[in-house]
Structure 1
Amino acid sequence: MDKINLLVIVTIITLFVSLFLAFFLLTVKTKHKRSNVLFAVFLLITAIDNSHPLFTLVSNGPSNLGMLRTTFAFLQIPVFYMYVSSVCYADFKFKPKHLLHLLPFLIANVILLPRFYTVDLASKINFLMNRQDMIELQFNHILIFIQIVVYFAAVFMLLRKAKKLYLENYAGTSINSYNWLFQFTSVLTILYLIVILKNVLKFSDYPYISEWIKIGILVFQLFIICWYLYKALNNPGLFRNIDSNLKLVSDLVLEDKNIKQPGINEIEYNEELLKLKRYMTDEKPFLNPSLTIQDVSKDVKIPVRDLSLLINHKLEQHFYDFVNVYRIERAMDILRDATKSRLTILEILYDVGFNSKSSFNTAFKKHTGNTPTSYRKGL
């Protein structure tokens, strides 16, 4: 099978899977509709970018539509960035400032106006035949390289902050979803670095290597899309968003220092800590798998800000870990109880407030140094 036929076959398969997943995301019933729409748009833009082998089969030469199709690549990463933002923050909304994400796409097309979009077919052919010497194409490749670096750096910073906010304010098991999204972004980063390599080789003395890398990229994209499809079908409610108005504890501490507030004194601190521990022991709110710091604040009558500082700063524990300690302690009691020896590990983890086996195992080993099964056998 020659290279062209292989490229067409892989392209068709990739486009089919991409369009199928986009259709699924647009039609599935979920409260995360905005996130689904954004990722569907990301898939559709990617499909347009990947359609080059099929486009060349039906086109009679270079055209404005064909060039416009290639510049759609400038929209992929901005849309992915907004997708990640919508996943992380429950109050994400489209705003006029998001139109700024169109700037690279518009710049890339504007500089192509004089010597490509507004000239005849012969000039277009000459432009592409001498693409290695065309400053416009070189500029666009540099621009997309900068865009990839800046946006992926922004995505990783966004995920890092969102995960920390989640740990400081929530005690659900959706933290696994942030870990998965971090992995997904990492894989996409590798893919785009390969794209950069392909573009560099296109302007080198080895352009044919760039064509083979293109096939590898399509296969890699197919793998990524199938991976996401598997996750989407098995976990339709992948993420629990957080409130973007929440502040990191480090920022709260800095604010207190800047406005020279003494904060709570040692006596108040000890009183509130005793009240909190008594509440956790007597009321057992940790049995709620979706417990938030706002829920605890309401019940113990301590402002969210003070409670967050008390747990995350004074106790030097994330709220997530603070709650999980109580869950693990209860799980240990159940495992030590001979009358409950018939309960499975799965039944126990649900009983103490977890709803994910991986989260339970991770928290249990962090607290005891053993897995739940090893702990039970060692009794």
Structure 2
Amino acid sequence: MDKINLLIIVIIITLFVSLFLAFFLFTVKTKHKLSNSLFAIFLLLTALDSIDPLLSLVVKNPSNLGMLRTTFAFLQIPVFYLYVLSVCYSDFKLKSKNLIHLLPFLIVNLILLPRFYAVDLASKISFIQNRQNMIELQLIHILFHIQIVVYITAVFVILKRTKKLYLENNSGASINSYNWLFQFTSVLTILYLIALVKNIFKFSDYPYISEWIKIGIVPFQLIIICWYLYKALNHPDLFRNIDSKLKLVQDIISEEKNNDQKTTNEKEYNQELIKLKQYMAEEKPFLNPSLTIQDVSAAIQIPVRDLSLLINHKLEQHFYDFVNTYRIENAMNILKDVTKSKVTILEILYDVGFNSKSSFNTAFKKHTGNTPTTYRKSL
């Protein structure tokens, strides 16, 4: 009894936190309104799915509304997928073609129509009591797991591509946000894998194991939601989006090969490289923490496509690393200057164009092999 009471308390807390965060995301003033709304919907769908033990205390018999609530789980992962798209791509908009993501949800409810939605209460009860032998429920669970695999794979592909695009075109600290979203998706994947194991036991000879796993998932969901709440409140402007029309350098090179386009010759390459290095040294654009390859392209009048090939392909560096090299070199000069020995590491990182201590330390150690503090002490 105590365990049941504890579970109910955790569910209520989870529900409260989910509703609070959803309300925050719906009402907060931000340019990322679509992203926030999609994640708020994802939270509400997840909360709706997790309140089953709470509803079972009030509603004893199966109903059409109760089954419909259960099938809303088929909307969770598609909404999360759309959320990731909206976070990663600045030009993302919901279009009529996105309605295709409703298809699994509609198919499942059509499957349930003949032997659940369209029958009397006694037949509904029999359907639930004999769920292990009901082909509809077995098919629904198979579809759910296929859906999870397909969407989670698609999310990781998108994150990998957009992170690479970000590195090739931007120099800000938002790369940490993509890393965090990758971590968040990984945690969700683990949660869905646990749900997969739960469902396997649900249709086995050991259904009680499924119930125990179901109880264990509830506090895990609460931890995940609290983690996101912490991130949302501490970093309201969490992501910087990428234009979906941008192309990866490897795709540009592939297109040029297929179209037999003439690439930049060595002389032109050297001239553009001199022009780029001169601009970086004299104008110091890297001091701008939000510098993009488009900014540099406009300043030195080299097309973005050519500049991207020059840095990412010819120099074999991401734009992100290319700019950070100048920032770190500038930071090293400040650390070597005895007249600036009282300038703090935090002040230095902001002065040279970083806006995150973690990204500065990572870049500095990658470039020098030491942390900024160790480097200063070794001089």
Once the two structures are superposed, residues 21-50 of structure 1 have per-residue CA deviations (whole angstroms, 9 ceiling, x without a partner) of: 101111111111110000000001111111
Whichever residue aligns with residue 354 of structure 1, its letter is: F
1:187 alignment counterpart: 187
Q: CA deviation at 1:6?
A: 2.8
Equivalence map 1:21-40=2 (5 Å): 21-40=21-40
Aligned twin of 2:235? 235
For residues 115-264 of structure 1, the aligned pairs below 5 Å read 115-264=115-264
Match of 2:355, as an amino acid? N
Q: Give distance in 1, aligned partners of 2:293 and 2:213.
A: 49
In the aligned structure 2, how far is the partner of 1:228 from the partner of 1:10?
Answer: 17
Following superposition of structure 1 onto structure 2, how do residues 42-61 of structure 1 map, counting pairs within 5 Å? 42-61=42-61
Give 1:237 deviation, angstroms.
0.4
Gaps of 5+ in 2: none
Partner of 2:284: 284
Shift of 1:5: 2.3
1:43-82 correspondence to structure 2 within 5 Å? 43-82=43-82
Per-residue CA deviation, residues 267-299 of structure 1 (Å, 9 max, x unaligned), is 000000000000000000000000000000000
Deviation at 1:4, TM superposition (A): 2.9
Shift of residue 8 of structure 1?
1.7
Structure 1: runs of 5 or more not aligned: none
Q: What whole-Å deviation, never above 9, does each CA across 1:130-185 have from its counterpart, x for those lacking one?
A: 00000000000000000010000000000000000000000011000000000000
Amino acid in structure 1 at the alignment position of 2:239: F
Equivalent-residue separation in structure 1 for 2:30 and 2:53 (angstroms):
35
For 1:136 and 1:263, locate their aligned partners in 2 and report how far apart those are by CA, in whole Å. Answer: 58
CA distance in 2, matches of 1:203, 1:3: 24
TM normalised by structure 2 equals: 0.99
**2:377 aligned with 1:347, yes or no?**
no
2:274 counterpart SS class: helix
RMSD of equivalent CA atoms: 0.7
Equivalents in 2 of 1:37, 1:12: separation in Å? Answer: 22
- What secondary structure does 2:57 align onto? helix
- Per the alignment, residue 304 of structure 1 pairs with 304
Query: For structure 1, which segment, 24-33 or 274-283, has the greater mean C-alpha deviation from structure 2 after superposition?
Result: 24-33
Q: Which amino acid aligns with 2:294?
A: Q
**Structure 2 Cα separation of the partners of residues 11 and 17 of structure 1:** 10
Letter in 2 for 1:375: Y
1:318 is aligned to 318
Alpha-carbon deviations, 1:230-278, whole Å to 9, x = none? Answer: 0000000000011000000000000110111121110000000000000
Partners of 1:37 and 1:179 lie apart in 2 by 22
Counterpart position of 2:91: 91
Distance 1:201 1:11 in 2: 22
State the number of aligned residues.
379
Give the percent of matched residue pairs that are identical in Structure 1 and Structure 2.
78
In the alignment, the residues of structure 2 paired with residue 39 and residue 258 of structure 1 have an alpha-carbon distance, to the nearest angstrom, of 40
Measured in 1, the distance between the counterparts of 2:5 and 2:333 equals 63
Deviation at 1:202, TM superposition (A): 0.6
**Contact 1:91-1:244 within 8 A present in 2 as well:** yes
Supply the distance in 2 between the matched residues of 1:362 and 1:2 (Cα, whole angstroms).
48
Q: Secondary structure at the match of 1:316?
A: coil
TM-superposed CA distance for 1:51, in Å, is: 1.4
- Give the Cα–Cα distance (whole angstroms) in 1 for the partners of residues 215 and 33 of structure 2: 33
Q: CA deviation at 1:55?
A: 1.6
1:206 CA displacement: 1.1
In the alignment, the residues of structure 1 paired with residue 9 and residue 141 of structure 2 have an alpha-carbon distance, to the nearest angstrom, of 27
Distance of 1:258 and 1:57 partners within structure 2: 64
Any idea what the Cα deviations from partners look like across 1:108-148, whole Å, max 9, x if unmatched?
11000000000000000000000000000000000000001
Q: Name the residue aligned to 1:12.
A: 12
Q: Which one-letter code corresponds to 2:89 in the other structure?
A: Y
Counterpart AA for 2:119: V
1:102 corresponds to which residue?
102
* TM superposition score normalised by structure 1: 0.99
Amino acid at match of 1:335: L
Q: Distance in 2 between matches of 1:201 and 1:9?
A: 25
Q: Contact 1:10/1:215 (CA < 8 Å) preserved in 2?
A: no
Instruction: Provide the C-alpha distance between the structure 1 equivalents of 2:32 and 2:375, rounded to a whole number of angstroms.
Output: 39
Corresponding letter in the other structure for 1:88: C
Residue of structure 2 equivalent to 1:369: 369
Read off the aligned partner of 1:102 and give its amino acid letter: L
Contact 1:174 1:238 in 2 (8 A): yes
Instruction: Give the match's secondary structure for 1:155.
Output: helix
State the secondary structure of the residue aligned to 2:61.
coil
